[in-house]
Each structure stands twice: as C-alpha cells, then as structure tokens.
Amino acid sequence: MLLDADESQLLLVDYQERLMPAIEDAEAVMANALRLAQAAQMLQVPVWGTEQNPTKLGPMPGPLRQACRKVLSKMHFGACADGLEALLQPPARPVQGNARSLPKHLQKPQEPPAPERPSLVLAGVEAHVCLLQTALQLLEGSWEVWVVTDACSSRTLRNRDAAYDRLASAGAELVTTEMVLFEWLRSAEHPAFKPIQTLIK
C-alpha cells in the first residue's frame, strides 16, 4: 500500500522551542519536519500541528507553525483527548429533506462522516510519549497512521526505538521522509517533482 497525497494529512506533534534542545538528533529531525511541511504545502496536503502545554514548553517554531492550518494546544499527551479528530474530519453535512420535521424518535441517527483524507502522516516528539499516544488513539479511531521515523525522536534513542516497535506492532506504517515525498509524487513527471527534489538535496 502506497501513500496517496489526495488522501493524506500531515500532523506535526510538539516540535517546541524548550523541548527540542533535549531531543536526540534534534537538528536532523527538525529539518525533515520542515521538508515534510513544505512538500505538503506544494501538494495541497493539509498540515496540522500540536503543542503540549505551550506556556511551559514554548511554541512551535515559526516556519512549521506557518505551514499549519491550525495548531492545537493540548494538555493530554494523546492529542485526540483534546479534540484532534474534530480537526481531521470533514464538516458534518446538514440533514437533507424533511427529516428535521420528524419527531426525534423517528429520525435516523446521524453517522459521523467518513474521513475524506484517512491517511495520517505523523512526525514529532517525543516519540515514546505524545507521538505514541496520539498515534495509538488514531489507530483506535480507524485512521491509517504512517509514522515518519527520521522526523521523530525522544530524549533517548532507547525510548524512541521502543516507541517504533510498539507502533509497528499496533499497525502503524513506519516510513521515512523520502518515502513519504516520493509516494506523494508517484512520478518524475509530477509538476512538483523538481521543487520537492530540491528540498531533499
């Protein structure tokens, strides 16, 4: 199964000013997050962000924040508990026809709309805490979760690697930045191929 840009959304988890200095490989992780965000913008893939307790850990750096349609402030480690899925879902469609005039006991229950973009590409820190808990919650919600391993990290590599093992066992796809970008493109004839290739070089 390959990623499809038209079915994807990108979620950037907790890249925050006061947290990043403690993260292993922080510079490379941030560079890959920025590549993902820039490519997503070129390909019209929606980009979302989260910030864990931003009054204590600071904001997401400007270039990443500017790429996001919205940055969700949260206190829970798993972002779904703070309303993430409502951002990711398409807006509910209004009831059609005369159903509104029926008594409530005769109305059909409204089912939540199926996601228009069910493939969630996740990158962020810390891999074994906020990224892991958010990804597991999304998997429980029947989303397809793709974790970009070279755009994620933790304060220790042992914690990061344990998170990857657990995520793979739970059904997340583990990918790299270049895997995501080339699968979104699919062809060297794609109009965005050259600018995205420039991001990688």
Residue type, 113: P
pLDDT digits (tens, 9 = 90+) for 99-151: 555 666 666 655 555 568 999 999 999 999 999 999 999 999 989 999 999 99
Q: What is the CATH number of domain 5-89+115-200?
A: 3.40.50.850
pLDDT digits (tens, 9 = 90+) for 11-25: 999 999 999 999 999
Enumerate the domain spans of the chain. Answer: 5-89+115-200
In angstroms, the CA 50 to CA 123 distance is 11
The answer to whether the CB of 18 falls within 8 A of the CB of 59 is: no
- What pTM was computed for the model? 0.88
Strands of the 173-175 sheet, one edge to the other: 70-74, 47-52, 8-13, 119-124, 144-148, 173-175
